[in-house]
Structure 1
C-alpha cells in the first residue's frame, strides 16, 4: 500500500481565506514534571458535541491550566469521543466557527492539520467506497455570493513514524503530559506495523499535524479532478523484530 502526506497546493491559484476556530476546546497545560506550558491543538473532532457537559463555559476560552484541571476536563469529554480518538492539550471539538472568503479548491488545508472539503467533492469520494471519509458541518460565514459549502473532514490519529527517522537516542515523551521532546523529522518514514487497514484518511498519532492518506484516496482525488491539495509520497518501513 502506498501512502501520501496531504499538503496545500500553493500553485493552484485559489484565494480562499479562513479565520476560524472550533466551538469548544481543551485548555493548554502546565506540566510540573517537564516544567513546560504547551498546547497542541491539531487533534480536532468536529463531530463531537459537548453540550451534555454542565460546565460548558470551561471549554469556550483558550487558556492554560494546571495539569490536574486539564485531566479533570479530559474525563468529562472522553465519553463523547469517537472510537480511536485521543486527547491532547488544546484539542478542539464541534464545528469550525468563523469567517471565510475567496475562491476555494475542492479540498482546502486550514493551517496544516484541518482539511476542508466542498460538499460535491465529499459525495464523490464517499461514492468511491473509501473508508473513514467523514464530513462534518462547519459554521463559516461568507460575505460573498455563491459561497461554497465547506465541510471539515474528521481525521482520527493513527499510525506513527518509524524509529529510524528519529534521533539515535530519542528522548521519550513526558510521562505526565505526553509532550514529545523532539521535533517532526525532516524526512518522514512511517512505521508499517502501526498503519490502519480500515482508514484511507487519517492523521499521525505521534505527530497529529501530519495528515496521511492511502494511494486509494490520492488516486480517487486525481481521477475525479479534486484540486486544492497535493500528495507527497512518504516512505513506509517495517519495524525490526
Structure 2
C-alpha cells in the first residue's frame, strides 16, 4: 500500500474564503513543568464531540493557556466523550467548525494543512467506494452567497508516525509531561511502516498532526470520481 500527503491545490481554479474556529477547545499549557514551554495547538480536532453535557462549558470557549493541573482536569471531563482512538493535546478542538464562507469550492477543501472539508455529495461517493472509516461532521458555516454547498469536516484520528531517519539526529525526546516534540515537521517525510494503521484510508499523523495522510485507495477513488480541490504528494515509507 502506498500513502500520500494531502494538501490544498493552490493551482486550482477555485477561489474561496473561509474564516472561523471550532466551537470548543482545551486550553494550552502554561509553563509546562516538564519542558518549561507554554504551548497549545488546534491541529487535533474532533468535530463529532458534543461538549454540552460538560459542567462549566464556558471554560472550553476561550482560547488561553492554563497550568498543567487545570489542563489535566479539563481533559478528564472530555475523555468519556471522545471517539475511539482519539488522543488529546493542549489546544485540541471539539464540536462543529463555526464561521463564514464564500466563493467556489472543489469537492475537497484543505482549509489548513490539518483541516479537511468535503462536499456532502463527494463524501457519499467516497463512502460508496468502500473507503474505510470516513466520517463527515456538520459545520456551522454561514455562506454569503446563493446556492451554497454543504461542507462537512472529516474527522481524522491521529495514527502513524514518521520514521526516525527523517528527523534530526540530535533531537530531544518528547516532553514526558505534556508530550511536546519541539521540532518542525521535516520537508522530506518518511513514514514509519510499523506505525501505519491498516484500518483507515484517511488519518493524521500522531507525532505531526499537521500532516493528513491518505492511502492509495483514497487517492485512486478521488481520481476515478473526479474529486478535486487538493493535491496528493507520495510519501515514502520504511
For the aligned residue pairs, the C-alpha RMSD in angstroms reads 0.7
Q: Give the distance between the partners of 1:187 and 1:213, measured in 2 at CA.
A: 17
Helix, strand or coil at the partner of 1:209: coil
The CA distance in 1 between the partners of 2:29 and 2:72, in whole Å, is: 9
So what's the TM-score if we normalise by structure 2? 0.98
Report the equivalent of 2:26: 26
Q: 1:32 deviation in Å?
A: 2.4
2:114 corresponds in structure 1 to 113
Deviations 1:77-136 (A, max 9, x none): 011000110001110000000100111000001111110000110000000000011000
Matches within 5 A, 1:98-109: 98-109=99-110
Query: Which position in structure 1 is the counterpart of 2:207?
Result: 206
1:39-62 per-position Cα deviation (integer Å, ceiling 9, x unaligned): 121000000001110111100111
Cα distance in 1, alignment partners of residues 112 and 132 from structure 2: 24
2:13, 2:38 → 1: CA distance?
Answer: 38
Which secondary structure does the structure 2 equivalent of 1:117 belong to? strand
Question: What residue in structure 2 maps to residue 50 of structure 1?
Answer: 51
- In structure 1, runs of 5+ residues without a counterpart are none
SS at match of 1:202: strand
- Distance in 1 (CA, whole Å) between partners of 2:33 and 2:83 is 30
Instruction: Give the number of equivalent residue pairs.
Output: 237
Distance 2:153 2:68 in 1: 29
Distance 1:39 1:168 in 2: 25
Q: C-alpha separation between the residues in 2 aligned to 1:220 and 1:144? A: 30
Stretches (4+) displaced over 2 A: none
* TM-score relative to the length of structure 1: 0.97
Question: What residue in structure 1 maps to residue 138 of structure 2?
Answer: 137
Partner Cα distance (1:81, 1:138) in 2? 18
Q: Distance in 2 between matches of 1:186 and 1:219?
A: 24
Which residue is equivalent to 1:8? 8
- Gaps of at least 5 residues in structure 2 are none
Tell me the distance in 1 between the aligned counterparts of 2:34 and 2:202: 34
1:234 counterpart residue number: 235
Of residues 148-157 and 179-188 in structure 1, the stretch that sits farther from structure 2 once superposed is: 179-188
Following superposition, the deviation at residue 13 of structure 1 comes to: 1.6
**Distance apart, 1:172 and its partner CA:** 0.3
* Separation (CA, whole Å) in 1 of partners of 2:41 and 2:143: 28
Q: Give the distance between the partners of 1:124 and 1:85, measured in 2 at CA.
A: 26
Q: How far apart in 2 are the matches of 1:176 and 1:225? A: 45
What is the alpha-carbon distance in structure 2 between the residues aligned to residue 182 and residue 144 of structure 1?
Answer: 41
